[in-house]
A and B are shown apart, each in its own frame.
Chain A
Protein backbone atom coordinates (compact mmCIF):
# COMPACT_ATOMS: atom_id res chain seq x y z
CA UNK A 1 0.00 0.00 0.00
CA UNK A 2 2.79 2.36 1.02
CA UNK A 3 4.55 1.71 -2.26
CA UNK A 4 1.56 3.12 -4.10
CA UNK A 5 1.41 6.36 -2.09
CA UNK A 6 4.13 8.13 -4.05
CA UNK A 7 2.87 7.34 -7.56
CA UNK A 8 -0.68 8.15 -6.44
CA UNK A 9 0.36 11.56 -5.21
CA UNK A 10 2.29 12.17 -8.40
CA UNK A 11 -0.81 11.23 -10.36
CA UNK A 12 -2.87 13.73 -8.36
CA UNK A 13 -0.32 16.50 -9.05
CA UNK A 14 -0.10 15.74 -12.78
CA UNK A 15 -3.90 15.44 -13.00
CA UNK A 16 -4.37 18.73 -11.16
CA UNK A 17 -1.93 20.47 -13.48
CA UNK A 18 -3.70 19.05 -16.56
CA UNK A 19 -7.10 20.25 -15.25
CA UNK A 20 -5.65 23.69 -14.52
CA UNK A 21 -4.19 23.93 -18.05
CA UNK A 22 -7.46 22.77 -19.56
CA UNK A 23 -9.48 25.36 -17.65
CA UNK A 24 -7.06 28.18 -18.44
CA UNK A 25 -7.36 27.63 -22.19
CA UNK A 26 -9.58 30.11 -24.02
CA UNK A 27 -12.39 28.57 -26.01
CA UNK A 28 -12.49 29.02 -29.78
CA UNK A 29 -14.30 27.41 -32.70
CA UNK A 30 -12.69 24.51 -34.52
CA UNK A 31 -10.59 24.93 -37.64
CA UNK A 32 -13.39 23.22 -39.60
CA UNK A 33 -15.92 25.85 -38.44
CA UNK A 34 -13.60 28.72 -39.42
CA UNK A 35 -12.97 27.19 -42.84
CA UNK A 36 -16.68 27.02 -43.76
CA UNK A 37 -17.79 29.30 -46.59
CA UNK A 38 -19.24 32.59 -45.34
CA UNK A 39 -22.82 32.99 -46.58
CA UNK A 40 -24.08 36.10 -48.37
CA UNK A 41 -27.01 38.26 -47.31
CA UNK A 42 -29.42 37.37 -50.16
CA UNK A 43 -32.51 35.21 -49.65
CA UNK A 44 -30.77 32.12 -51.05
CA UNK A 45 -27.80 32.67 -48.79
CA UNK A 46 -25.44 32.35 -51.74
CA UNK A 47 -21.90 31.56 -50.69
CA UNK A 48 -19.49 34.48 -50.71
CA UNK A 49 -16.57 32.36 -52.01
CA UNK A 50 -14.58 33.21 -48.86
CA UNK A 51 -14.15 31.16 -45.73
CA UNK A 52 -15.00 32.76 -42.40
CA UNK A 53 -11.32 32.81 -41.42
CA UNK A 54 -10.42 34.61 -44.67
CA UNK A 55 -13.15 37.19 -44.04
CA UNK A 56 -11.92 37.81 -40.50
CA UNK A 57 -8.25 38.05 -41.49
CA UNK A 58 -9.04 40.40 -44.39
CA UNK A 59 -10.94 42.64 -41.98
CA UNK A 60 -7.96 42.85 -39.67
CA UNK A 61 -9.67 41.41 -36.62
CA UNK A 62 -6.31 40.03 -35.55
CA UNK A 63 -4.91 43.55 -35.31
CA UNK A 64 -5.26 45.98 -32.43
CA UNK A 65 -8.72 44.86 -31.31
CA UNK A 66 -9.11 42.25 -28.60
CA UNK A 67 -11.16 39.27 -29.69
CA UNK A 68 -12.98 36.69 -27.62
CA UNK A 69 -14.86 33.68 -28.93
CA UNK A 70 -17.80 32.35 -26.92
CA UNK A 71 -19.86 29.26 -27.71
CA UNK A 72 -23.44 30.37 -28.43
CA UNK A 73 -24.92 26.92 -29.15
CA UNK A 74 -24.02 23.56 -30.68
CA UNK A 75 -22.89 25.01 -34.01
CA UNK A 76 -22.89 28.66 -33.14
CA UNK A 77 -20.14 31.01 -31.96
CA UNK A 78 -20.04 34.65 -30.96
CA UNK A 79 -16.95 36.71 -31.72
CA UNK A 80 -16.57 39.75 -29.45
CA UNK A 81 -14.29 42.48 -30.78
CA UNK A 82 -13.36 45.34 -28.48
CA UNK A 83 -11.09 48.33 -28.62
CA UNK A 84 -10.55 51.64 -26.84
CA UNK A 85 -10.37 54.59 -29.19
CA UNK A 86 -9.31 58.13 -28.34
CA UNK A 87 -11.82 60.88 -28.98
CA UNK A 88 -11.54 64.60 -28.22
CA UNK A 89 -13.40 64.15 -24.95
CA UNK A 90 -11.57 61.03 -23.79
CA UNK A 91 -11.21 57.28 -24.28
CA UNK A 92 -14.21 55.45 -25.71
CA UNK A 93 -14.97 51.74 -25.49
CA UNK A 94 -16.09 50.37 -28.84
CA UNK A 95 -17.32 46.83 -29.46
CA UNK A 96 -18.91 44.56 -32.03
CA UNK A 97 -20.30 41.10 -31.23
CA UNK A 98 -20.91 38.86 -34.24
CA UNK A 99 -22.82 35.58 -33.86
CA UNK A 100 -22.07 33.01 -36.56
CA UNK A 101 -23.94 29.75 -37.06
CA UNK A 102 -23.10 26.71 -39.14
CA UNK A 103 -25.70 25.84 -41.78
CA UNK A 104 -24.74 22.87 -43.98
CA UNK A 105 -21.44 23.70 -45.65
CA UNK A 106 -21.76 27.37 -44.85
CA UNK A 107 -21.48 29.66 -41.89
CA UNK A 108 -24.07 32.42 -41.60
CA UNK A 109 -23.97 35.69 -39.69
CA UNK A 110 -27.05 35.54 -37.46
CA UNK A 111 -26.89 38.68 -35.33
CA UNK A 112 -24.75 41.70 -34.52
CA UNK A 113 -24.53 43.80 -31.37
CA UNK A 114 -22.43 46.92 -31.42
CA UNK A 115 -21.59 50.10 -29.55
CA UNK A 116 -23.36 53.32 -30.49
CA UNK A 117 -22.60 54.56 -33.98
CA UNK A 118 -21.90 51.15 -35.46
CA UNK A 119 -24.48 49.31 -37.61
CA UNK A 120 -26.24 46.23 -36.22
CA UNK A 121 -28.19 45.32 -39.35
CA UNK A 122 -27.09 41.82 -40.43
CA UNK A 123 -27.28 42.47 -44.20
CA UNK A 124 -25.23 45.65 -43.88
CA UNK A 125 -22.65 43.90 -41.74
CA UNK A 126 -22.32 41.00 -44.19
CA UNK A 127 -21.78 43.48 -47.03
CA UNK A 128 -19.23 45.40 -44.97
CA UNK A 129 -17.38 42.24 -43.93
CA UNK A 130 -17.09 41.17 -47.58
CA UNK A 131 -15.66 44.49 -48.79
CA UNK A 132 -12.15 43.68 -47.55
CA UNK A 133 -11.70 40.17 -49.05
CA UNK A 134 -13.29 41.29 -52.33
CA UNK A 135 -11.14 44.41 -52.47
CA UNK A 136 -7.96 42.46 -51.77
CA UNK A 137 -8.91 39.47 -53.92
CA UNK A 138 -8.28 37.19 -50.97
CA UNK A 139 -7.90 33.47 -51.58
CA UNK A 140 -11.35 31.96 -52.33
CA UNK A 141 -12.66 28.62 -51.11
CA UNK A 142 -12.11 25.60 -53.34
CA UNK A 143 -15.61 25.88 -54.86
CA UNK A 144 -14.67 29.24 -56.38
CA UNK A 145 -11.08 28.46 -57.36
CA UNK A 146 -11.91 27.77 -61.03
CA UNK A 147 -12.92 30.26 -63.69
CA UNK A 148 -16.58 31.24 -63.93
CA UNK A 149 -17.22 30.74 -60.23
CA UNK A 150 -20.07 32.77 -58.79
CA UNK A 151 -20.63 34.03 -55.31
CA UNK A 152 -22.47 36.73 -53.39
CA UNK A 153 -20.71 40.03 -54.24
CA UNK A 154 -17.79 37.91 -55.44
CA UNK A 155 -15.40 39.70 -57.71
CA UNK A 156 -12.93 37.13 -59.12
CA UNK A 157 -9.45 38.23 -60.07
CA UNK A 158 -9.25 38.81 -63.83
Chain B
Protein backbone atom coordinates (compact mmCIF):
# COMPACT_ATOMS: atom_id res chain seq x y z
CA UNK B 1 0.00 0.00 0.00
CA UNK B 2 2.84 2.37 0.91
CA UNK B 3 4.39 1.75 -2.47
CA UNK B 4 1.15 2.65 -4.27
CA UNK B 5 0.75 5.85 -2.23
CA UNK B 6 4.37 6.79 -2.97
CA UNK B 7 3.89 6.12 -6.68
CA UNK B 8 0.72 8.22 -6.72
CA UNK B 9 2.50 11.03 -4.87
CA UNK B 10 5.31 10.88 -7.38
CA UNK B 11 2.81 11.00 -10.25
CA UNK B 12 1.23 14.07 -8.62
CA UNK B 13 4.62 15.75 -8.28
CA UNK B 14 5.60 15.21 -11.91
CA UNK B 15 3.37 17.97 -13.29
CA UNK B 16 4.70 20.26 -10.55
CA UNK B 17 8.24 19.77 -11.82
CA UNK B 18 6.98 21.25 -15.08
CA UNK B 19 5.99 24.43 -13.25
CA UNK B 20 9.21 26.12 -14.28
CA UNK B 21 9.13 29.83 -13.58
CA UNK B 22 12.48 31.40 -14.41
CA UNK B 23 14.27 31.67 -17.73
CA UNK B 24 18.01 31.78 -18.41
CA UNK B 25 19.90 33.24 -21.35
CA UNK B 26 21.15 29.81 -22.45
CA UNK B 27 17.66 28.31 -22.40
CA UNK B 28 16.25 31.20 -24.41
CA UNK B 29 19.08 31.00 -26.97
CA UNK B 30 18.47 27.24 -27.38
CA UNK B 31 14.73 27.91 -27.65
CA UNK B 32 15.22 30.47 -30.45
CA UNK B 33 17.52 28.00 -32.28
CA UNK B 34 14.77 25.40 -32.01
CA UNK B 35 12.16 27.86 -33.30
CA UNK B 36 14.38 28.81 -36.25
CA UNK B 37 14.88 25.15 -37.13
CA UNK B 38 11.12 24.59 -36.97
CA UNK B 39 10.67 27.52 -39.38
CA UNK B 40 13.30 26.04 -41.73
CA UNK B 41 11.36 22.77 -41.79
CA UNK B 42 8.18 24.74 -42.51
CA UNK B 43 6.23 22.26 -40.41
CA UNK B 44 3.30 24.22 -38.98
CA UNK B 45 2.54 22.04 -35.89
CA UNK B 46 6.12 22.42 -34.70
CA UNK B 47 6.14 26.18 -35.41
CA UNK B 48 2.82 26.53 -33.67
CA UNK B 49 3.58 24.65 -30.48
CA UNK B 50 6.32 27.18 -29.70
CA UNK B 51 3.75 29.98 -29.50
CA UNK B 52 1.82 30.67 -26.28
CA UNK B 53 -1.96 30.37 -25.96
CA UNK B 54 -2.43 34.14 -26.18
CA UNK B 55 0.37 34.73 -28.67
CA UNK B 56 0.01 37.93 -30.71
CA UNK B 57 2.04 38.98 -33.69
CA UNK B 58 2.34 42.54 -34.95
CA UNK B 59 3.91 43.02 -38.32
CA UNK B 60 4.90 46.03 -40.38
CA UNK B 61 5.78 44.94 -43.90
CA UNK B 62 7.33 47.16 -46.55
CA UNK B 63 6.77 45.57 -49.94
CA UNK B 64 9.32 45.64 -52.76
CA UNK B 65 7.65 48.67 -54.32
CA UNK B 66 8.92 51.47 -52.12
CA UNK B 67 6.28 53.92 -53.42
CA UNK B 68 3.58 51.85 -51.72
CA UNK B 69 2.79 52.25 -48.03
CA UNK B 70 3.83 49.36 -45.78
CA UNK B 71 1.06 47.07 -44.53
CA UNK B 72 0.51 46.65 -40.81
CA UNK B 73 -1.36 43.87 -39.12
CA UNK B 74 -1.86 42.24 -35.76
CA UNK B 75 -2.96 38.63 -35.58
CA UNK B 76 -3.53 36.03 -32.88
CA UNK B 77 -2.18 32.51 -32.49
CA UNK B 78 -4.95 30.79 -34.43
CA UNK B 79 -4.47 32.82 -37.59
CA UNK B 80 -0.68 32.77 -37.19
CA UNK B 81 -0.77 28.96 -37.09
CA UNK B 82 -3.12 28.74 -40.07
CA UNK B 83 -0.76 30.97 -41.99
CA UNK B 84 2.26 28.90 -40.96
CA UNK B 85 0.54 25.95 -42.64
CA UNK B 86 0.76 27.69 -46.01
CA UNK B 87 4.58 27.66 -45.71
CA UNK B 88 4.59 23.92 -46.27
CA UNK B 89 3.81 24.56 -49.95
CA UNK B 90 7.22 26.18 -50.48
CA UNK B 91 9.86 23.89 -51.88
CA UNK B 92 12.72 26.37 -51.59
CA UNK B 93 13.25 28.35 -48.43
CA UNK B 94 16.27 29.78 -46.68
CA UNK B 95 16.31 31.39 -43.25
CA UNK B 96 19.42 33.06 -41.83
CA UNK B 97 19.65 34.74 -38.47
CA UNK B 98 22.24 37.48 -38.65
CA UNK B 99 22.01 38.91 -35.12
CA UNK B 100 20.41 38.16 -31.77
CA UNK B 101 20.25 39.92 -28.43
CA UNK B 102 18.61 38.44 -25.34
CA UNK B 103 17.53 40.64 -22.45
CA UNK B 104 16.27 38.80 -19.38
CA UNK B 105 13.62 40.66 -17.36
CA UNK B 106 14.50 41.62 -13.78
CA UNK B 107 12.01 39.08 -12.39
CA UNK B 108 13.60 36.44 -14.71
CA UNK B 109 10.16 35.25 -15.85
CA UNK B 110 10.43 36.55 -19.40
CA UNK B 111 13.10 37.51 -21.90
CA UNK B 112 13.03 40.05 -24.71
CA UNK B 113 14.71 38.67 -27.82
CA UNK B 114 15.70 40.98 -30.64
CA UNK B 115 16.81 39.10 -33.74
CA UNK B 116 17.57 40.01 -37.34
CA UNK B 117 16.61 37.58 -40.08
CA UNK B 118 16.96 37.21 -43.83
CA UNK B 119 14.43 34.93 -45.48
CA UNK B 120 14.67 33.94 -49.15
CA UNK B 121 11.78 32.18 -50.85
CA UNK B 122 9.90 32.13 -54.17
CA UNK B 123 7.82 35.20 -54.98
CA UNK B 124 4.43 34.45 -56.45
CA UNK B 125 2.53 37.50 -57.65
CA UNK B 126 -0.58 38.18 -55.54
CA UNK B 127 -3.64 36.63 -57.15
CA UNK B 128 -1.57 34.39 -59.38
CA UNK B 129 -2.15 30.66 -59.16
CA UNK B 130 1.21 28.99 -59.87
CA UNK B 131 0.95 25.92 -62.11
CA UNK B 132 3.91 24.30 -60.34
CA UNK B 133 6.10 25.33 -57.37
CA UNK B 134 8.69 26.39 -59.98
CA UNK B 135 6.30 28.80 -61.65
CA UNK B 136 8.00 32.03 -60.52
CA UNK B 137 10.60 34.44 -61.89
CA UNK B 138 11.94 36.10 -58.74
CA UNK B 139 12.91 35.15 -55.24
CA UNK B 140 11.76 37.49 -52.50
CA UNK B 141 14.28 38.43 -49.85
CA UNK B 142 12.63 39.54 -46.62
CA UNK B 143 14.89 41.24 -44.10
CA UNK B 144 13.26 41.61 -40.72
CA UNK B 145 13.92 42.66 -37.18
CA UNK B 146 11.84 40.63 -34.74
CA UNK B 147 11.31 41.68 -31.14
CA UNK B 148 9.81 38.81 -29.21
CA UNK B 149 8.87 38.21 -25.62
CA UNK B 150 9.67 34.66 -24.51
CA UNK B 151 8.16 33.27 -21.32
CA UNK B 152 7.15 30.04 -19.62
CA UNK B 153 3.77 28.44 -20.18
CA UNK B 154 2.86 25.03 -18.75
CA UNK B 155 6.52 24.48 -17.93
CA UNK B 156 7.81 25.14 -21.46
CA UNK B 157 9.36 28.17 -23.10
CA UNK B 158 7.08 29.81 -25.67
CA UNK B 159 6.87 33.02 -27.62
CA UNK B 160 4.31 35.26 -25.91
CA UNK B 161 4.42 37.96 -28.58
CA UNK B 162 6.43 39.08 -31.60
CA UNK B 163 6.71 42.43 -33.30
CA UNK B 164 8.30 42.26 -36.73
CA UNK B 165 9.49 45.04 -38.99
CA UNK B 166 10.06 43.51 -42.43
CA UNK B 167 11.35 44.81 -45.76
CA UNK B 168 10.95 42.88 -48.98
CA UNK B 169 13.11 43.01 -52.09
CA UNK B 170 13.08 40.87 -55.23
CA UNK B 171 16.03 39.18 -56.92
CA UNK B 172 16.12 37.19 -60.13
CA UNK B 173 15.54 33.48 -59.73
CA UNK B 174 18.77 32.74 -61.57
CA UNK B 175 20.84 34.92 -59.22
CA UNK B 176 20.69 32.57 -56.26
CA UNK B 177 20.78 28.80 -55.81
CA UNK B 178 18.49 27.54 -53.10
CA UNK B 179 18.25 23.76 -52.83
CA UNK B 180 14.88 22.03 -52.96
CA UNK B 181 13.87 20.37 -49.70
Contacts and interface: CB of A to CB of B under 8 A. Distances in A.
State the majority secondary structure of interface residues on B: mixed
A123 B114 CA distance: 47
Contact of A93 (B4, B65, B74, B126): B74
Contact of B8 (A10, A64, A93): A10
Contacts of B82: 64, 66, 83
B18 interface: no
A5 B26 CA distance: 41
A2 B4 CA distance: 11
Interface stretch (B41-49, B55-63, B97-105, B172-180): B55-63
A86 B126 contact: yes
B8 A84 contact: no
Interface in A100-120: none
Query: How large, as a class, is the contact surface on chain A?
Result: 20 to 34
Contacts of B62: 89-90
B176 to A, nearest CB: 21
B79 A91 contact: no
Which residue, of A82, A85, A89, has the highest number of chain B Cβ atoms within 10 A?
Answer: A89
B13 to A, nearest CB: 11
Contacts of B70: 89-90
Query: How large, as a class, is the contact surface on chain B?
Result: 20 to 34
A19 interface: no
Nearest to A95: B79
B79 A66 contact: yes
Given A68-B78, A84-B79, A86-B126, A92 B71 contact: yes
B169 interface: no
A43 interface: no
Interface in B63-86: 63, 65, 68-71, 73-75, 78-79, 82-83
Given A13-B11, A68-B78, A89-B61, 16 more contacts: A2-B5, A6-B1, A6-B5, A9-B5, A9-B8, A9-B12, A10-B8, A13-B12, A66-B82, A82-B78, A89-B62, A89-B70, A90-B61, A91-B61, A91-B71, A93-B75
Q: Which 5 A-B pairs have the closest CB atoms?
A: A90-B61, A93-B73, A90-B71, A89-B63, A89-B68
